Structure 1
Amino acid sequence: MRYYFRKLAFYAVALWAALTLNFFIPRMMPGNPVDTLMARLQQRGGSVDPSVRRSYELLLGTDSREPLWDQYLSYLGNLLRGELGVSVSAFPAPVSEVIGDSLPWTIVLVGIATLLSFVLGTVLGTVVGWRRGTWLDSLVPATTVLAAVPYFWLALILVAVFASALKWFPLLGGYDVVLDPGWNWEFIQSAGYHGTLPALTIVLSSMGGWLLGMRNMMVSTVSEDYVLTARAKGLRERRIMVAYAARNAVLPSVAGFAISLGFVVAGSIITEQVFSYPGIGGKLLQAVQNNDFALMQGIFLVITVAVLGANLVVDLLYGLIDPRTRAGV
């Protein structure tokens, strides 16, 4: 019980530290969201008198007359009430609405791509590690090269070949603009069609890491005593590979996969930009360009909670799987 209490206490402190950094770091950046709104208002011929600026400061929670400590306490209080503020980039839309519109796109795209890359990399790594020294070893350098290729370069190659030259897939967007978003087959089919190339980019770029890690673990596990004992018992090679070697070799990969799931909500900013995909990565870039403190804080909050939650689940599961972890061994 003490193990679980220590873990929960640790992650509670980590969450508080992340929230604190989430508040102070954007305010250390040059620029101000109020200045951005005032510039937009002035371009449209609106009033720029001090009373208007004061109203924007109160609305966005960046009151220059209020001490930073009081702003920090107000920020924490708003978080407890679920209020993330108003977005400057999509003014006057609330941050929760902006995140709610873009986050599902990223979760579906990056989540499915991450799952596919993990499954493919782990299965191929298991086979390559079990049958090392064969022609299958050639998969390791091939996938490693793909993993070393920058996301944007691989994305541009896929766009040039499959979208521009062969015209098998659309160039840009997340769905056909003539359709209304909704849970209907026509829209889902269009979203899947538009998301194929972005997902393929993520799978090809990340599969090599899973394959290499699983292959190395399989090589070290094959020489363990329990594998030799299983062979001495006359068990089938396939059963030994899956039930004995792979079952133990996959544990570090499972931990890494759980952590990578936490980063799913962060999206793949470069990939989304290349394909003009309506995900959270584009919104984060837009928030940085517009000094949108509230939107930056909201997105970082979602990412932080997802990553810490994934790590917490992994730690708690390890405590159940391996009693030595709870004992501090």
Structure 2
Amino acid sequence: MVEVHRPDSLVLSLLPYAVIAAVAAVDITAGPEVGFLGLVSLGPAFAGLVGGWRRTAAIGALALAACTALAAYDGLLGSRRGTVALASVAGVTAAALVATAMRRRREEELARVRTVAEVAQRVILRQVPRDTGDLQVAVSYTSAVAEARIGGDLYEVITCPAGIRLIVGDVQGKGLGAVESAAVVLGAFREAANEEPALTAVGARIERAVEREGYEERFVTALLAEVNGRHVTLVSYGHPPPLLCHPDGSAEFTGPGHPAPPLGLAGHGADKPETYPLDLPPDAQLFFYTDGITEARDRHGAFYPLQRRAALLRAPDPKAALAALLADVLRHTHGSLQDDAAMLLVRRPARPAAQHNP
């Protein structure tokens, strides 16, 4: 894991030294009558915010030396005020060392949890082949929480007798419960996609799997697709429609006019899901996504204009196209996402690429 040094970390690193220097300057200027000497202890107090115990101890020693020198300069060395100030610096340093040790222990525990989350992500959201038949496929997952590695958004691409089948979905809710539901959906899809002849039957299998979970308050929006050459079939369960990018550079949202309710809500008497046929000519592409993309807002509350930014998806490499779009979304939101964002790009190049592993 690469450690990123942010500007705020640099400020926190320099803060203890700045405080000690500032207190020393004020004490020398104001004289001993004002009583700033004890404020030197603020240096080691701030030292525990970043770094290890050795750094905290070194700053504590520096503060103790500065307090001793200032007490001697003020003629307070050996007096009650000077002794109290030195004791304050020593006590705050000891407390900072304890706080630093506890913080480092929590950071190590968090690092272990992140490692487990990364392993879980590799199990739940597996790598997809970059070239599948005459298609190019790229995926991207971005968590709205910087420390997180996985959430309730999901995707999968499977080669089966019917062609290429894929799913993109979004579990309602957050936390481990959403991750558990995502795992259930993906497990059911991986099994059904290879066994069921019809895409609607695949959706029915997933629906039953979600119902068996027994979480009545949780549902999953999902979009299933089957690609066989230039023939595409879509089945939507309350999920945002894909963006069809034409060879001439134009783009449009497409999909069933009346999507089925989200998975987990079929028992509410709604209509059965319908299939939607689609033509994917050479040099065209389909962009699947979750609402973390289309519902990304800028500071004025405006949603991300995905259709107007479709030209970003024309980058020669599909993965680079997703990276360019994500960077544009982050610029729109000034660097943060309000929700997790999963993206899947299916491209049918005019000339099929050579087969290779991802």
TM-score range, shorter chain: under 0.3
Structure with higher helix content? 1
- Greater relative contact order: 1 or 2 (C-alpha under 8 angstroms, separation 6 or more)? 1
TM-score by length of 2: 0.23
Larger radius of gyration: 2
